[in-house]
Amino acid sequence: MDAILECRGIEKSFGGVHALKKVNFSLHPGEVHALVGENGAGKSTLIKIISGALSQDRGEIFYLEKPVIIGSPRKAQDIGISTVYQEPLIYRELSVLENIFLGREIKTRMGNIDWTEEEKKARSLFESLQIAPHFIKQPMRDLSVGLQQLALIAKALVYEAKVIIFDEPTAILTEHETERLFEIIQKLKERKVGIIYISHRLEEIFRIADRVTIMRDGEVVGEHLVGDINRSKIVELMAGRLLVEEINHLGKKGEKPILTVKNLTRKGRYYDIHFDVYPGEILGFSGLVGSGRTDIAQTLFGLIKPDNGEIVYQGKTISFSSPEEAMANGIAYLPEDRKVQGLFHILSTSFNISVTVLKEISSRMGIVHNSQEKELGKKFVKELAIKAPSLDSKVYSLSGGNQQKVVLAKWLGVNPQILMLDEPTRGVDVTSKSEIHHMIASLAEKGIAVIIISSELPEILKLADRVIVMHEGHITGVFEDQDITSENLVRAATGERMLKTKGSSIEEKNL
Amino acid sequence: MTANLQIVMKRREFTVLGLILVLMVIFSLSTEKFMSVSNLSNLLLQLSGVAISAIGMTMVIITGGIDVSVGSILGMASVVAGKLLMAGSSFVIVVLSAIATGFGIGILNGIIISYGNVPPIIVTLGMMSMMRALMFQVLGGRWVSGIPPDIRIIGLGKWLGIPLSMWITAVLVILFSYFLSSRPTGRAIYAIGNNPEAARVSGVNLARTILIVYSLTGLLVGFAGLIYVARTGIVQTNTGSGFELEVIAAVMLGGTSVFGGKGTVIGSLLGAVLVGIIKNGMVLMNVPALSEGLVIGVLILISVMIDLIRSRGESL
Amino acid sequence: MKNIGSHIVENRVLFLLVLFLILFGVFAFSVKGFFTYYNLTNMTQYGVELGLLALAEMLVILSGGAGIDLSVGSMLTIVAMIIGVLIGRAGFNPSLAILIGLISGSAMGYANGFLVAYPKIPPFIVTLASLYVYKSLAMIISVDPRFGPNPMPVSNFPETFYFIGQHRIGGLPFQVLFIFIPVVLILMFLMNRTVLGRHLYGVGSNETAAIFSGINVKKIRVIVYTLSGLLSALAGWVITSRIASARPDIGTGYELQAITIAVLGGVSIKGGEGTAGGVVLSIAIITMLYNGMQLAGIHQIWQLGSLGLVLVGSVLLNQILYNRRKF
């Protein structure tokens, strides 16, 4: 049968970053085509192009054998390409029925909304999917996430979707809901709907997909029928053979851990977390976005309260209730989203650098010593080679790399004992990236305990002395020395339990 | 059946209705005058202006906005109606001009908010003072009184013992309930308040819908201004000042959330009745009129708190 | 790479200066009695109360989170009444009464701040409600049972009480020299040189980043609204002393003027941007505008009316400047 959707030679760049390189992708009616790859491999960019949220720089998309320019999510929906997002786009206070039909109402001859007709249609839709439609008059907010998702699938069918894109649909579902979703996907296949299915759970792909496309670094590195491939081959393709030049730092790892985390649990975020951090080491946290890495860092930083467990820092059990407190005790956290969590855009470079250390550079009455502030700014501009016209330059006028250096400077100023870096080089140019990496290594040399959270495998491989891998809130692997390989990290990140390495204190407790 | 009953009982309208009944019992037990025909019809007369304006404010707040200029729109419409009546214009001209005045001001609000992207509180605050100045200019600092009696039929006339203005209110409430519940544009108003991004993707024209909402609010308040003139027969420079608070209070008490996306015209009508009864009862019980702002302000805060507690409870 | 941001700020001050000079020129040439030493020094006293409220509004709007304080006029009124009733009817020592007034103003501001920061009620709702609550309380306080149930102004103050509002030094009003200028200097110092000031700008420009930088956002919010109450209370004291009467309707409409002056002075309604210098210039312009209009015989309601236009116009201007930037 011919393809409903075909992408040929799609290219896309963001600034200097080549996100998609000559990507080909096709979808047949009644087929589930899985799309897999590490974070940053280019899946989301491709999906955004297909669903109209972005447009490609080069390449063509054929829909029902005709070339199309999709252009907007609205247009995509209108021509029959619907997306079920991970975080559903819903109207909380409106009924399920209305969520399905809003923007595409069935009208009476008078132009009124024909509620009876809409209800009839929705009921028959749900019944054809073998779901009892008892909930269609309830407001969306009263539904579980699983039911909300079903409503959005029904919405896609109202729009007569021929292509439905599922973006990690099971990430938020319970086991039971997942089963039901798979049954519905089966029904959709019978209706000859083509499905693009993104998931990090490889076992799901073997259950429901017909074909799988594997992406890495913006390229398609393999397209196989599911019957022709096995799990380890997929992992191998996802990981690739990364040639990474390691940065060695000479610092000695301390004898005693500076921080020990025991039994830490926060329901819905992470479970039963154990690990130690030593002064002078770089500890990597790998795994997918949303696997609980960031939540753990934010817990140590006083932003999230754990339900259970113990954090021992410098020999004392601690529980910080605010970042203020964590900072005062020498813990720093560079957040993952520079734009939202890191920068004060409309304020000066010097403000952004000094904001965390105002207490140290001010008198007891709270008066800031301008000269000290300026010196601090100058010092970091020099040390981190920040390119800014002046210290008074507003941060929004700097490049991404320089902005990131400013955020880094803000945290270096507090002279932390533990420095947690969440995606420290996201959206940063190559030169700045390398500079930041060397900076991180030299910090460890000075005896700081560095925790680096990164979705980029090369970054972890390059810097980390030890790596903890997380999957859906659990630690699934701890690796050291020669065990830190891209394949091991990807296997653990996709959910294989690999806690079999020697030497770490975690392993004993977990086995 | 019991499930349905529970849903009804959980609704905000039901709580407000209950509160109204409780207050009516209290006031009729503590003052003899409350239940008298003249007091009740006076009460209905007074609250019709608030109720009609509250219809518009309900839509505004559902989109997540606010309109503090309704008091001055009411004033301006009254001035126009009063001046024309004094000049001997015909009934139809007067009615149309008053409504057109409100509509025009509403359109102006709507354009600056939707296309100029200026926060509603700023636009309507600015509009309020401009309108007050304009009213002063037109009136020259004097009152308009001795308005010809034929217009007063809207305010004082009765049908089946119920003031005409209340009948008009009822018609408008039904009309706008229908608009908000059955017309695609009406539902788009809710969609914007719930999730503007999703609404945009579903093809809702955000700017146009916002413009419609503020324009219709102006129109409705223009109508309320007409009723005001017809009822009191007097227009002065400060006519309608403080009126916005009563309207906002009625809408919020009626269950429309300041966080947007939720609310009904019926709820706001009940809210207007509640505010009206409180004001009326306070007068009858000799509570000084001065504490009106105090009571209404506190009521507004209480109803936001209820919303907050309710939405927190859900998210847990 | 030119530095666009600071240019806009510079332009704003420049823009205001030019506006000031033009207005000054127009009034000096066309309005009789404007360009006299007496008028120029005398009119400054009228800017004090409004100026204090505008500075209060500046702090609140600067702190971001859709910050706005609609209750400044009511807080001014109620403090005026508290001071008036305590001195005029209860016979308190003026200093004590003033102190009580200032404390009550701060407490009312604190209540606003608390409701904004902790239960997170939108500021326009909190302060709209408190506008009416405080106004209503002011009227209740003003009732003198000896003369029936109606609100009554208080005007029997001892002579010493008028000192602050009516005394002059070298023609310059006392309240300008000893209240307004010191307040401006303190605020400038606070905003530019202290940790609190930095935190204020930080919270205003990006609340999330402020939380992640260890700034106590709630505390800053509460402080800002409390200061707004204190500044309104100061204005309430000064105005009572100047007009020798505490009136229960005195602050009506002030909120609009205060917000307008702050916004015209370059305070961004989105928060995080604005300077005391810009606001002071804006106060000067508006004060002069009022004075010129008054001398030219234009009714004062038009002061308010034109301000409404200025408010919407200057927010539009700020918005356009803001949109031109790239993030």
pLDDT single digits (tens) B21-61: 988 888 888 888 888 888 888 888 888 999 999 999 999 99
Q: Are B72 and B235 within 8 A, CB to CB?
A: no
Tokens (6 digits) for C71 = 């209750």
Determine the 3-state secondary structure of B241 from DSSP: coil
The domain locations on chain B are 35-315
Number of domains comprising chain C: 1
Question: Quick check: is C4 in a domain?
Answer: no
* For C209, nearest residue in chain A (alpha carbons): A341
pLDDT value of position B60: 96
Rounded Cα distance between C80 and A62, Å, is 74
- The complex scores an ipTM of 0.84
Rounded Cα distance between A364 and A17, Å, is 47
C125 CB neighbour count, 10 Å cutoff? 21
Determine the 3-state secondary structure of A374 from DSSP: helix
**Residue C63: domain span:** 45-155+169-324
pLDDT single digits (tens) B66-79: 999 999 999 999 99
For domain A259-330+416-510, give the CATH superfamily: P-loop containing nucleotide triphosphate hydrolases (3.40.50.300)
Counted residue by residue, chain B has a size of 316
Interface of B with A in 143-182 (CB under 8 A): 182
- Predicted TM-score (pTM) of the model is 0.84
Rounded Cα distance between A327 and A336, Å, is 17
The domain locations on chain A are 86-160, 259-330+416-510, 346-413
pLDDT value of position A313: 92
β strands within chain B, DSSP E = 158-159, 162-163
Q: Span C287-292, mean pLDDT?
A: 90
Q: Hey, are the CB atoms on B129 and C269 less than 8 Å from each other?
A: no
Q: Are A32 and A197 within 8 A, CB to CB?
A: yes
**Dihedral over Cα of C105, C111, C117, C123: its sign:** negative
Across A123-132, A267-276, A500-509, least confident range: A500-509
pLDDT value of position A243: 60
How many A/C residue pairs have CB atoms within 8 Å? Answer: 93
Q: Are C304 and B132 within 8 A, CB to CB?
A: yes
Residue A37 has pLDDT above 70, yes or no: yes
Q: Span A160-165, mean pLDDT?
A: 91
* Strand order, beta sheet including A5-14: A17-27, A5-14, A58-63, A66-68
B261 touches chain A (CB under 8 A): yes
Residue B243 has pLDDT above 60, yes or no: yes
User: What phi-psi label fits residue A166: left (phi over 0), alpha (psi between -120 and 50 degrees) or beta?
Assistant: beta
The shortest C-alpha distance from A109 to chain C (Å) reads 42
pLDDT value of position C198: 94
C215 touches chain A (CB under 8 A): yes
Element (H, E) at B134: helix B120-139
Our CA angle for A375, A380, A382, nearest 5°, is 95
pLDDT single digits (tens) A39-93: 778 888 899 999 888 889 999 999 998 999 988 888 888 899 998 887 778 888 8
User: What phi-psi label fits residue C323: left (phi over 0), alpha (psi between -120 and 50 degrees) or beta?
Assistant: alpha
B12 touches chain A (CB under 8 A): no
B5 touches chain A (CB under 8 A): no
Counted residue by residue, chain C has a size of 327
Q: Are A221 and A237 within 8 A, CB to CB?
A: yes
Question: Quick check: is C136 in a domain?
Answer: yes
Q: Are A153 and A166 within 8 A, CB to CB?
A: no
The shortest C-alpha distance from C271 to chain A (Å) reads 10
Q: How confident is the model at residue B8 (pLDDT cuts 50, 70, 90)?
A: low
Beta-carbon contacts of residue A128 (< 8 Å; ≥ 6 apart): A187
pLDDT single digits (tens) C159-169: 888 888 888 88
* For C273, nearest residue in chain A (alpha carbons): A346
A353 CB neighbour count, 10 Å cutoff? 29
Q: Span B194-211, mean pLDDT?
A: 88
Which CATH class name applies to B35-315?
mainly alpha
The shortest C-alpha distance from C109 to chain B (Å) reads 16
Which among B227, B231, B229, B263 is positioned nearest to B248, based on CA atoms? B263
Residue A336 has pLDDT above 50, yes or no: yes
Q: Are A383 and A442 within 8 A, CB to CB?
A: no
Q: Are C315 and C269 within 8 A, CB to CB?
A: yes
Determine the 3-state secondary structure of A335 from DSSP: coil
Q: Hey, are the CB atoms on C128 and B248 less than 8 Å from each other?
A: yes
Which chain C positions have a beta carbon within 8 Å of B121's beta carbon?
Answer: 68, 124
pLDDT value of position C7: 54
Beta-carbon contacts of residue B25 (< 8 Å; ≥ 6 apart): none
What is the full DSSP assignment across C94-147?
HHHHHHHHHHHHHHHHHHHHHHHHSS---HHHHHHHHHHHHHHHHHHHHB-GGG
* For A99, nearest residue in chain B (alpha carbons): B191
Q: Span A122-148, mean pLDDT?
A: 85
Q: Hey, are the CB atoms on C327 and A345 less than 8 Å from each other?
A: yes
C71 CB neighbour count, 10 Å cutoff? 31
The shortest C-alpha distance from B161 to chain A (Å) reads 34
| Interface probe, candidates C12, C213, C270, chain A, greatest A C-beta count within 10 A | C213
Which chain C positions have a beta carbon within 8 Å of A339's beta carbon?
Answer: 327
pLDDT single digits (tens) A269-304: 899 999 999 999 999 999 887 888 999 999 999 999
Dihedral of the alpha carbons of A269, A270, A275, A277, in degrees to the nearest 10: -10
Number of H helices, E strands in chain A: 17, 20
Q: How confident is the model at residue C2 (pLDDT cuts 50, 70, 90)?
A: very low
pLDDT single digits (tens) A366-408: 899 989 999 999 999 998 888 888 999 889 888 888 999 999 9
The shortest C-alpha distance from C11 to chain A (Å) reads 16
Q: Hey, are the CB atoms on B204 and A103 less than 8 Å from each other?
A: yes
**In CATH, what number is assigned to the domain containing residue C305?**
1.10.3470
Across A21-35, A457-471, C301-315, least confident range: C301-315
Which chain C positions have a beta carbon within 8 Å of B112's beta carbon?
Answer: 312, 316
pLDDT value of position A501: 47
C305 touches chain B (CB under 8 A): yes
What is the full DSSP assignment across B67-103?
-TTHHHHHHHHHHHHHHHHHTT--HHHHHHHHHHHHH
pLDDT value of position A451: 95
Give me the residues paired with residue A8 across strands. Answer: A60
Q: Span A144-168, mean pLDDT?
A: 86
**Dihedral over Cα of B22, B23, B24, B28: its sign:** positive
